[in-house]
Every structure is written in C-alpha cells, then in structure tokens.
C-alpha cells in the first residue's frame, strides 16, 4: 500500500508539473495579494483573476523588458494581520517586483508598514477613505471626493434627500468616510438629528433590528436615504432584510460604495432594483475599450456570464500604468518606477483618460448607477470629465491644510501648506 501511495503521489506531482507554466529563472515577479477565502472572497477573488488575465495578455505581447512576468499568488484569507505576513513573504522570500492587492483599508494599513520597511511597491484598487499617501502605494480606487461626496450631492440635489443613514462595516474605511460625510452634510446645513450612524461587524447576518431602526428613522415624513459602506458578504442579508420589511428604493433608497456587478451576480437582484451605487466604472457603459475588456474577461474565465466591476477597471488601469512606467524607467527598481509613474496616462474603460497625480491618486470620472433586474447598472448621473483624487479631505479640520506631493521639492505624503512642514507619509 505504501508503494502504491508513493507511485500515485509521484504521478499526481508529475501531472501538476505539466499543468503549471515553466518559468525561466529570470522573470519579473508580480505578487497577487487578495483574499481567496473568508468574508471578502466574494469581492477579492475576481481581482486575483484580473491580475492573472492581465499578466497573461502582457506575456503574449512579449512580456516586459524582454522577460516574462510570473505571478505569485497568495491567500491572506480575509485575515488582516495575515496580509502583512504574506506581503513580507512576497517581498523578502519571493522577491516580487510589485504587488497588486488588498481590498479593505484595514488590510492595506496592515501591509503599509511592511512596504515602507522593505521598500516594496503596491497598487491598491478599491474605493477608500483617503487620509493617506505613501511613496510605496499607488491608489487607483476612488477617494471620498470621487465617490462619497458626489453620491451625497446626488441624493440631496436630485432626489431631495434630507435625512441620512450612514451604515457601515466596523473598520477604518466606513468610520473615516462617514466622519468626512458627517462634516460635509453639516456644512450643507443638515442638522445632527437628521444623521443616523450605524456600524456592524464583518459578516453581519442578522439585520432585522437594524433595518427596523432604519425604517423608523425614515418614517418621519422627510425624504431619507441610506449611504452604505457595508463590505463583503454582509450585503446579501442586508438587502434581503430591506425587502423583507417592505423597504423599496422609492421609500428609502440605498446608495452603496461597495456593491458592484460581482456582488450582485450572486444575488436575486429583484429586491434591489432601483437602489443605487456610486463608482467610477460600470460594466454597462458602452465604449469600444469596455466591450473588448468584457469579452477578454469572459474568454479568460471561460464563462459567458462573467461580470466586470469597478475595482477590476482600477486594477486594469494600475497594471497598465505600471507596465508603462517600468518600460519608461527601463527597470523594475521601486524608486525608479515610482518616479516614472507620476504623470502616467491610460484610457479609462468608460471613456476619457486616467492620470496618475503627484499624490499617487488617479483622476477619474464619477458615475452613479441604478440597479437593474439583470444585476447590471443603468448610469443615472456622471461627472463632466474626470475628478482628481484628494488624498486629504477638505472637510476634516485635521487635514484641510494638508496635501501630498511626491515630486521635488516637497516629496512628502503629509505636507502642511500653512506651516510648510512635512510630518511623514500618512
């Protein structure tokens, strides 16, 4: 039996070796740091595959600097400290030249000190709270002024909303974003009594009492909306409970910052029809570039029903900018690539051009979409052109005089324009 087991194991190993690409010793290694298990896998698994597709396409074009690109995929499993551990392994052990990864802000902040200590480079593709700028990170998702602020403006100006429920998962992104939104709403004359704030843990499954509170808050004869920073698989029972309690989009519309096509593909979309999401990209946008991207994705996934979403576009933009910056620098050296990245331009999938600014944030368009019964979005509002990402909010006293500028002579992520002093990266 032992001999048979050994022979079977050797046969399986051989089969596995045949299936895996044979990488040359001299490759450019790209780390892929996304949760493939746990509560965030519903969102992050598609980003892992997006990076693999982009690497495959680049290798088919001849690679980069005459070398093939080799992906190194790890699973931090929705475990925030594990993100730091895996990032350290990718940089120190696997010797990756760049990392594409993280979704939640708590995972990004877990990785940040490792990147700074080891001088690694990471592209972060998800909407977040801002209030950070590091030499070692390029932020290709939306800052609050590219998603949250325009969404609230739309609710107030177009839908006549006067009462706001700020509902989020209990971690840094929702808390900081809602802090900014509270300050913004008050600056627009919304009294504190018309702002309800609620936080729930990751993976929250019981929404009955919370939705009851939302329903009561919205039954005062004043137009009310929910601004949702709920992340991950908690969105599924949240929307189901809204429907269970008879709350429609006409009664209390929800505008979400973390619900896109990927999350909707696993849901019965009927109860969500009419609710909203704010992003910088929707699959439904009709452009030649987007049509090509969607077809490439479906082919790569071997699934005619595979969907695309905003963080995938952010990954696509970031990856292609990185390729162009490496070619411009003639090396994958982090400091050289960082300099070459600033000013990089690349076409958005929705039309127009994304630009990487001096603060390591992109200029991007902002779109608000209404959920349709097929799980897609119909764009109901969009900006006229692109909006530059603001790394430090103008609505928080602690940051209203702070900027980030990674070019000379400032070269600082936290520069006070009044004192003319740099106080660090983040």
pLDDT at 3 over 90: no
94 CB-contact burial (10 Å; exposed 0-12 / middle 13-18 / buried 19+)? middle
Mean pLDDT confidence for 231-252: 92
Instruction: Locate 418 and state its tokens.
Output: 């009044």
User: How much of the chain exceeds pLDDT 90, in percent?
Assistant: 88
Number of CB atoms found within 10 A of residue 81's CB: 11
Instruction: Locate 173 and state its tokens.
Output: 């992104």
Task: Give CA–CA dist 368/280, Å, rounded.
Answer: 8
Q: DSSP character for 92?
A: I
What pLDDT, on a 0 to 100 scale, did the predictor assign at position 382? 96
Classified as helix, coil or strand, 405 is strand
Instruction: Locate 334 and state its tokens.
Output: 């982090």
Check: CB of residue 354 under 8 Å from CB of residue 313: no
Q: What is the pTM of this model?
A: 0.90
Mean pLDDT confidence for 368-381: 96
Instruction: Locate 252 and state its tokens.
Output: 């209390």
What pLDDT, on a 0 to 100 scale, did the predictor assign at position 424? 72
52-96 pLDDT per residue, tens: 999 999 999 999 999 999 999 999 999 999 999 999 999 999 999
Q: If DSSP states are collapsed to H, E and C, what string results for 122-142?
A: EEECCCCCCCCCCCCEEECCC
Q: Which domains does the chain have, with CATH numbers?
A: 25-143+289-364 (3.40.50.2300), 145-286+368-388 (3.40.50.2300)
Mean pLDDT confidence for 374-393: 96
Mean pLDDT confidence for 348-375: 96
- Among residues 261, 276, 289, 295, the alpha carbon closest in space to that of 354 is found at 289
What pLDDT, on a 0 to 100 scale, did the predictor assign at position 6? 34
91-116 pLDDT per residue, tens: 999 999 999 999 999 999 999 999 99
Helix (H) or strand (E) holding 30: strand 28-33
CA atoms within 13 A on the CB side of 336: 11
User: How much of the chain exceeds pLDDT 70, in percent?
Assistant: 94
Number of CB atoms found within 10 A of residue 59's CB: 18
pLDDT at 15 over 50: no
């Amino acid at each position: 039996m032992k001999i048979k087991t050994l022979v079977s194991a050797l046969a399986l190993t051989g089969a596995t070796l045949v299936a895996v690409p044979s990488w040359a010793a001299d490759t450019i290694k790209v780390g892929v740091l996304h949760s493939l298990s746990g509560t965030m896998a519903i969102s992050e698994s598609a980003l892992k595959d997006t990076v693999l597709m982009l690497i495959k396409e680049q290798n088919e074009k001849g690679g980069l600097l005459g070398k093939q690109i080799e992906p190194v995929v790890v699973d931090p499993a929705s475990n925030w400290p594990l993100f730091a551990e895996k990032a350290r392994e990718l940089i120190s052990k696997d010797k990756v030249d760049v990392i594409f990864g993280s979704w939640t802000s708590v995972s990004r902040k877990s990785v940040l000190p490792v990147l700074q200590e080891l001088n690694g480079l990471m592209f972060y593709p998800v909407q977040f709270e801002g209030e950070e700028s590091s030499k070692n990170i390029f932020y290709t998702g939306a800052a609050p002024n590219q998603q949250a602020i325009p969404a609230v403006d739309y609710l107030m100006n177009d839908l006549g909303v006067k009462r706001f429920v700020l509902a989020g998962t209990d971690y840094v992104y929702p808390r900081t974003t809602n802090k900014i939104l509270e300050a913004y709403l008050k600056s627009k004359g919304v009294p504190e009594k018309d702002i309800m704030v609620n936080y729930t843990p990751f993976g929250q499954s019981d929404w009955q009492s919370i939705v009851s509170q939302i329903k009561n808050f919205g039954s005062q004869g004043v137009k009310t909306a929910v601004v949702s920073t709920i992340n991950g698989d908690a969105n599924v029972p949240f929307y189901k409970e809204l429907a269970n309690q008879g709350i429609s989009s006409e009664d209390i519309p929800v505008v979400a910052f973390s619900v896109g096509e990927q999350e909707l593909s696993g849901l019965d979309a009927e109860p969500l029809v009419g609710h909203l999401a704010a992003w910088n990209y929707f699959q439904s946008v009709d452009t030649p570039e987007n049509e090509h991207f969607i077809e490439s994705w479906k082919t790569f996934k071997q699934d005619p029903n595979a969907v695309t979403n905003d963080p995938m576009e952010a990954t696509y933009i970031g990856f292609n900018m990185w390729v162009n910056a490496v070619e411009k620098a003639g090396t994958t050296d982090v400091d050289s690539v960082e300099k070459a990245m600033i000013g990089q331009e690349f076409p958005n999938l929705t039309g127009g051009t994304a630009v990487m600014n001096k603060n390591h944030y992109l200029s991007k368009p902002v779109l608000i979409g209404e959920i349709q019964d097929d799980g897609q979005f119909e764009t109901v509002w969009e900006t006229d052109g692109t909006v530059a990402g603001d790394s430090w909010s103008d609505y928080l006293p602690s940051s209203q005089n702070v900027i980030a500028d990674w070019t000379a002579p400032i070269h600082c992520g936290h520069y006070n324009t009044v004192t003319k002093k740099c106080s660090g990266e983040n």
